[in-house]
Amino acid sequence: MATATIDHATLVDLAGSPGFETTHVVAQRGGWTISIRQGDRDRVLTAQRSREARVFRRMETLVTYLRGVGIARFEVDAAAYDPDASSGTSRPDRAEALRGAHGAAAHDGWFRAQVRQAIAEADGADPGWVDQDAAKALWARQREKLKIRDESSA
């Protein structure tokens, strides 16, 4: 039988309702979970993204969360509590993600500096603007030189 679950929004709605009975905080590997008793059903609080049981690593964080929801009293089941156990959650991908974030930040800084420099040059006393007719004439001469060079090498 699948474990019944509850999400944050539903817990907020139930916290003040008459059918709400008890909140249990249960020790798990790597932290604490929240179980809600409503009638004859127990429901486990799930994380929003993974939809798996939400595990709080620190009791202080869990208490702050419950008080924010409006639950000030709860029962604690510490039978499986092991202060030396790690959650087994390892994130080796974070190092690569952080390297990418630092690289992106460095590129962004370089790009912004280039834009500031270009704006400063354009706002300067002699930005060296060329009007369209002069630019067309310049590129027409360049094309002629390239044609002559191609014809002589052929």
Q: Is residue 129 part of a domain?
A: no
Q: Is residue 8 part of a domain?
A: yes
CB 11 within 8 A of CB 69: yes
Q: What is the mean pLDDT of residues 83-112?
A: 82
Q: Is residue 44 part of a domain?
A: yes
Global pTM reads 0.53
Domain extent at residue 72: 1-108
Please report where in the chains the tokens 């000030």 appear, as a residue: 72
Could you give the CA distance from residue 103 to residue 99 in angstroms, rounded to a whole number? 6
Q: What is the mean pLDDT of residues 80-103?
A: 78
Question: In sequence order, what are the residues at sequence separation of 6 or more whose Cβ sits closer than 8 angstroms to the Cβ of residue 39?
Answer: 19, 21
CA distances to 28, 62, 110, 118 from 113, in Å: 50, 45, 5, 9
For residue range 9-43, list pLDDT tens digits in order. Answer: 888 888 877 767 789 999 988 899 999 887 778 88
Number of independent structural domains in the chain: 1
Predicted confidence at residue 4, as pLDDT, reads 85
Could you give the CA distance from residue 99 to residue 92 in angstroms, rounded to a whole number? 12
43: helix, strand or coil: strand
Q: Is residue 154 part of a domain?
A: no
Predicted confidence at residue 1, as pLDDT, reads 46
> For residue 5, is pLDDT > 70?
yes
Predicted confidence at residue 21, as pLDDT, reads 74
